[in-house]
Structure 1
Amino acid sequence: MIIKSLTGSLGLLLVVFSLSTQAQKLPQKKDILAKMTLANAYFMASWPDPGKEIVTNKTRPSNIWTRAVYYEGLMALYGIDKQKPYYDYAVDWGNKHHWGLRSGIKTRNADDQCCGQTYIDLYQIDRKPERLNDIKASVDAMVNSDKVDDWNWVDALQMAMPVFAQLSVLEKDSKYLEKMYQIYMYSKTKHGGNGLYNPKDGLWWRDKDFVPPYKEPNGKDCYWSRGNGWVVAALVRVLDIIPKDAPHRDEYKKTYLEMMKALPPLQRPDGYWNVSLHDPANFGGKELTGTALFAYGMAWGVNHGLLDGKTYTPIITKAWNAMATESVHPNGFLGYVQGTGKEPKEGQPVTYDSKPDFDDYGLGCFLLAGTELYKMKR
């Protein structure tokens, strides 16, 4: 199924929308890489010791989810630009934490398990057992239990689902895929009463606090941009990892395509998406993380033949150009990054010069988007 098969008003809306964005050109690969290199260099210079604790309102170890998302992006960048310092920086991060999880191997928390995505990537490059032991033990405990309600917030899908997919391929064992599906479906159809996904709108509520009757100030449902971005990333990363004939692949593909239909009409004229997808007046404005994750998901879909390039390339291009020209400072700092939280009001105001409480996950999202855009055909 590709976007060409769309019929009716939605298909017409996407065509009209894409035509309105075609003035911008897809950047050259060298220009995309230059922006990513600049932003990443700024971060690595700011954090010369990847094991250093992160201090905000309290002190946290640097293997938490925010830093783990950065390393997802760094490994993606390394995939297209094999710079040894990138690999060494990731290995040093794992070594500093003894390849462990924030709360130990007994944790079921997806945020704690997110670092495992990079640990497993690095294990596949150099199969040292210590890189795999703890994350595998943590996930194995979940697989061997009956509990399936762990992912009660949508961010968790991106943090943990790729780990289950990686282990399934690595171990050649479908039990990881089956457990991942069970927990995912509980999130989609059970949490919050009837699930966190609204198939009518093709979007997800962040958690039970935002399912109806909760409404945005304009009376519409609250769909948080980055929350939906996390789901897009989860589905893309899982589809990228699992075999073409893997069980439940059609479910992930179907939901991904539904989200890809829902997002283009919500893009702002300047290329960004608002933090509140259905209420642009509720803390509306430019925001990088949701925008980057949507661009990442769309570029991946074009690259893998699931989305029509003529329709989606202008949308992706507009989003990237907005981030590259309006978010990236001359020194590599990223502006318009919303701080941590779970709804539009968090981390406000979000501006060109505002500094989020964590400076890592925004860059991770940006690098994921850039690497997929880099792979697109010119």
Structure 2
Amino acid sequence: MKHITIILGCLLFSTTILSQEIKPKEVKAIMKKVADWQIEHYRDAFTYDSPHHPLDWTNGALYVGMAKWAAMSDRDKYYTWLKTVGELNNWKLHERLYHADDHTVGQFYLDLFRKYGDEKMLKPTQEQFDYILYHPAKTALTWQSPFHQSRWNWCDALFMSPPVWAKLYKITGEKKYLDFMMDEFKATTDFLFDKEENLYYRDESYMGKLDNGTKIFWSRGNGWVFAGLVNIMNELEPGSSEHQYFKDIFEKMAAKLLKIQTPEGHWAMSLLGQEFYPTPETSGTSFYVFGLAWGINNGVLDKKTYGPAVEKAWKALTSYITPEGMLGYVQPIGAAPGKAWPDRTEVYGTGAFLSAGTEVYKLYSGE
């Protein structure tokens, strides 16, 4: 009964949303509703039977979006909430020294450091990254080689760790952080980027495999990369060789994404297999909206060409939000195309949606 009620609620809500023009005030209102719902349900269990650790990558992705929302909200509540998370965890990264997933929370730590100037928000991340700089992992990028995830050998990692390195570079002015990030990002891209499709394999294990006759490019996996590119470019000087490197990848991916958007507005869980994965999926789609809207706002993408795709996708996303503020159709934790449901969510989906909303708001408000 609960499942049916949620579906009906989403359908009624979606009919209203899809018939409306996008208005900045309404973008802000729906973001607030989603952010407030997620804070209230922050310690709920989603994919697993217990809630995620506060420093887990899942929550790290939530904090990335929440920090962007906090910066545009008229209330201090969201910054206060983020500060509380940091303080309760002594501003430390998660457990694994080299693993990109455990670096994700560093993004919001450094965002808060820039706002408040409190050294304790910066130092643990900087000290750990300094150690990595002078003791870099030497493992291969091949999948399941010994200690293989000590380097960025899966595409999700390009969202999790590189933006932290870029932020450290911007904050300190020390090029050693940028140089390390560039070397590792290029190594991962040379390994996982398919130059024919302009998309990333999730990891080496998906190369050469087919799903219903199509190459397997996971939507959220490429969403991680696309959003990560934006979060990195935000820290670099436009026109620099480093910025141009990421911009080139971004433009290639954007052009591909435009071609494979579904008629409903979302992107299929297997990006090249729309007919086999008709179910909406909101985490990957949110990341694509974030990136495409950012591209338009920053003069990287043509508004006339890409604007309709952003509008269609944003309307689709908001149609999957329940009246209470839960973002539905978020694929559970995984590494490949799968399933999603209208009454299932995840914290990283909310983070992606809030990131998207910040750029959609700018696009339609003219800011």
Same fold (TM > 0.5)? yes
> How many residues are treated as equivalent by the alignment?
337
- Find the counterpart in structure 2 of residue 211 from structure 1: 207
Instruction: Indicate whether 1:328 and 2:318 are aligned.
Output: no
Displacement, 1:25? 6.9
Summarize the Cα distance change of 1:25–1:235 in structure 2 as closer, same or farther, 3 Å threshold.
farther
Match of 1:92 among 77, 84, 97: 84
Summarize the Cα distance change of 1:59–1:87 in structure 2 as closer, same or farther, 3 Å threshold.
closer
TM-score normalized with structure 1 length:
0.85
- Find the counterpart in structure 2 of residue 29 from structure 1: 24
1:53-80 C-alpha deviation (Å, 9 max, x unpaired) = 9993566421111111111111111121
Task: Write the letter of the residue equivalent to 1:62.
Answer: P
Output the CA distance in 2 between the equivalents of 1:24 and 1:306: 29
Alignment check: 8 A CA contact 2:52 2:58 kept: no
Output the CA distance in 1 between the equivalents of 2:200 and 2:64: 23
Alignment check: 8 A CA contact 2:47 2:332 kept: no
Counterparts of residues 1-378 of structure 1 (less than 5 Å): 27-47=22-42, 56-57=48-49, 60-103=52-95, 107-147=97-137, 149=141, 150-189=151-190, 195-212=191-208, 214-217=209-212, 219-325=213-319, 327-345=320-338, 348=339, 350-353=340-343, 355-356=344-345, 359-377=346-364
Displacement, 1:253? 0.6
Displacement, 1:40? 0.9
Displacement, 1:103? 0.7
Q: Which runs of 5+ in 2 are unaligned?
A: 1-17, 142-150
- Find the counterpart in structure 2 of residue 19 from structure 1: none
Output the CA distance in 1 between the equivalents of 2:73 and 2:100: 29
Alignment check: 8 A CA contact 1:54 1:61 kept: no
Alignment check: 8 A CA contact 2:110 2:121 kept: yes
Q: Identity, % of aligned pairs?
A: 30
CA RMSD of the aligned region, Å? 2.0
Alignment check: 8 A CA contact 1:282 1:344 kept: no
Task: Write the letter of the residue equivalent to 2:210.
Answer: K
User: More displaced, 296-305 or 126-135?
Assistant: 126-135
Alignment check: 8 A CA contact 2:110 2:167 kept: yes
Displacement, 1:320? 0.3
Output the CA distance in 2 between the equivalents of 1:133 and 1:336: 38
Summarize the Cα distance change of 1:186–1:243 in structure 2 as closer, same or farther, 3 Å threshold.
same
Alignment check: 8 A CA contact 2:72 2:358 kept: yes
Structure number having the greater helix percentage: 2
Summarize the Cα distance change of 1:73–1:196 in structure 2 as closer, same or farther, 3 Å threshold.
same
Alignment check: 8 A CA contact 2:28 2:357 kept: yes
Displacement, 1:198? 0.7
Task: Write the letter of the residue equivalent to 1:376.
Answer: L
Task: Write the letter of the residue equivalent to 2:218.
Answer: W
Give every structure 1 segment of 4 or more consecutive aligned residues whose post-TM-superposition deviation is greater than 4 Å: 23-26, 52-55, 57-60
SS in 2 for 1:278: coil
Output the CA distance in 2 between the equivalents of 1:278 and 1:248: 30
SS in 2 for 1:248: helix
Q: Which runs of 5+ in 1 are unaligned?
A: 1-22, 190-194
- Find the counterpart in structure 2 of residue 6 from structure 1: none
TM-score normalized with structure 2 length:
0.87
